Amino acid sequence: MSLPRLAAAVATAGCLAVLPLATAGPAGASGGPGVPDRPLRQLAADDRLRIGTAVDTSALADDADYRRLTGAQFSTVTPENVMKWEVTEPRQGEYDYAAADRLVDFAHRHGQKVRGHVLVWHNQLPSWLTSGNFTADQLREILHRHITDTVRHFKGRVWQWDVVNEAFNDDGTLRDSIWLRELGPGYIADAFRWAHEADPHALLFYNDYNTEWTGPKSDAVYDLVRRLRAEGVPVDGVGFQGHLGIQYGLPTGMAANFARFDRLGLATAVTEADVRMEMPADAEKLATQAEGYRLLLDACLRTRHCVSFTVWGFTDKYSWVPGTFPGEGAANLYDEDYRPKPAYRALQAELTGRARPASAG
């Protein structure tokens, strides 16, 4: 990403539509009885940052409180599932963008930008793809067509794309996936080139988990994006997912890790933040959770070109965590009854009165 392009991305992050203030009640987070609160999106705008949430589109359609909070509190949205390949092309050559289009339309109506998630991943692939007996050349063409068709469909309506997701193991080796086995490591560069050709104005991200701190995995991602940029591959940013668990201790050194990617001239973003715990929750665990969220946001705010901070869902009512990590949960900013938790207050406080480093340009 050139400096003018990166500066434009940072400037765009701060250009937010101003909506009415959220008020007390199940769909707001009041500072006291009858006292209006500034939504997170307005507080973040003061710091030239966009703050977002992953969206469960079924809840968006069926739950009025969920829908109201999604629109009022956040300035970006990420589809949890409806832009993944198994949804958009369930049968080869038959596309279904309807659910994703509805989310994009919702975002437009609420002055929100969209993070597209995800173009290339080893998971949630359609069965026709994973069970097909394709040659390497055929698979390469299938991937090329998928990226091109998807990005062109949303051209001009998606701000950032997670182009390649979770390509590394925790030890820094490349993940054994259908893409690596059949196409070799060059599939990563190809994916970014094809996405850029389809929409030259979208910001293109590499996205992964357990990369928030320095270590073998984040080092491998750093080496990858540094090499790709040196080769002229259009990688614009790196997404740090931010899935934390308080039972493992909270990570340190995140700001320094973000900063080294920033020095490469890359945008950065926290893309999927949640902080889970072993159940049941109690006051001490919730306080530790709040500190985890604060540390993630602090690392972003300290980083000159961190353009967005996204939570992976905002209410425990629709959390993915209990179904994936048995015995764990309570990972989000609001509880199941839409009451704001200490984690929500921690983000409010962190966004209040901060002075971010000056942007480029």
Annotation marks residue 166 as catalytic: yes
Annotation marks residue 272 as catalytic: yes
3-class DSSP assignment, residue 251: coil
Angle formed by the axes of helices 254-262 and 216-230, nearest 10°: 10
Answer yes or no: are the C-beta atoms of 102 and 79 closer than 8 Å.
no
CB-based burial of residue 326 (10 Å sphere; 0-12 exposed, 13-18 middle, 19+ buried)? exposed
What single-letter DSSP state applies at residue 37? Answer: B
Instruction: Tell me the residue type at 284.
Output: E
- Which one of 89, 166, 212, 350 is the catalytic residue? 166
CB-based burial of residue 6 (10 Å sphere; 0-12 exposed, 13-18 middle, 19+ buried)? buried
CA distance 166 to 176: 11
- Paired tokens of 324: 């994936």
Strands (E), 36-85: 50-55, 76-79
- Which one of 89, 212, 272, 350 is the catalytic residue? 272
> Active-site positions?
166, 272
